[in-house]
């Protein structure tokens, strides 16, 4: 069974940094593209970043480009999101999501990031 467990969320001041992690199990991690998707409080879903099978191919939503970095460690079965220069509008639950057949077939439980002074 596919299992994705996010961690690393918390309260951070504007301009601060945070690193999210996603531990994957139940599948061959290195065979799948991986993503971060976020959901602001009471709002809808927004794709944030994707990473292909290696770290050579990554992409980001415009609003986080230059501030967030997605990475992966295939040996550890882990996905990461390094977030810097955080803004209030980055406040959200961040989900790790696998790209199985045709996008986002499995999701973690999410980790809450709150950006506030």
- Which token pair is 77? 């079965």
Of 101, 113, 116, 117, the one binding other proteins by CB under 8 A: 101
Q: Are 89 and 38 in contact (CB under 8 A)?
A: no
Residue 109 C-beta: closest distance to other proteins, Å: 6
Cα-Cα end-to-end distance for the chain: 40
At its nearest, how many Å lie between other proteins and the CB of residue 35? 8
Question: Length of the chain in residues, anyone?
Answer: 117
x-or-dash string of contact with other proteins, 38-77, rule CB under 8 A: ------xxxx-----------x-x----------------
Please count the other Cβ atoms lying within 10 Å of the Cβ belonging to residue 46: 14
The neighbour count for residue 18, using CB atoms within 10 Å, is 21
Q: Which residue, 56 or 102, has its beta carbon nearer to other proteins?
A: 102
**CB 14 → other proteins: shortest distance, Å?**
25
Residue 32 interacts with other proteins (CB under 8 A)?
no
């Amino acid at each position: 069974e596919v299992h994705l467990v996010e961690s690393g969320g918390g309260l951070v001041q504007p301009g601060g940094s945070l690193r999210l992690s996603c531990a994957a199990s139940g599948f061959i991690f290195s065979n799948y593209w991986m993503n971060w998707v976020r959901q602001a409080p009471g709002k809808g879903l927004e794709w944030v970043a994707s990473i292909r099978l290696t770290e050579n191919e990554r992409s980001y939503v415009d609003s986080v480009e230059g501030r967030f970095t997605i990475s992966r460690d295939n040996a550890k079965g882990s996905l990461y999101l390094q977030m810097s220069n955080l803004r209030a509008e980055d406040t959200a639950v961040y989900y790790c999501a696998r790209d199985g057949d045709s996008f986002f077939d499995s999701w973690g439980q999410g980790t809450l990031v709150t950006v506030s002074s």
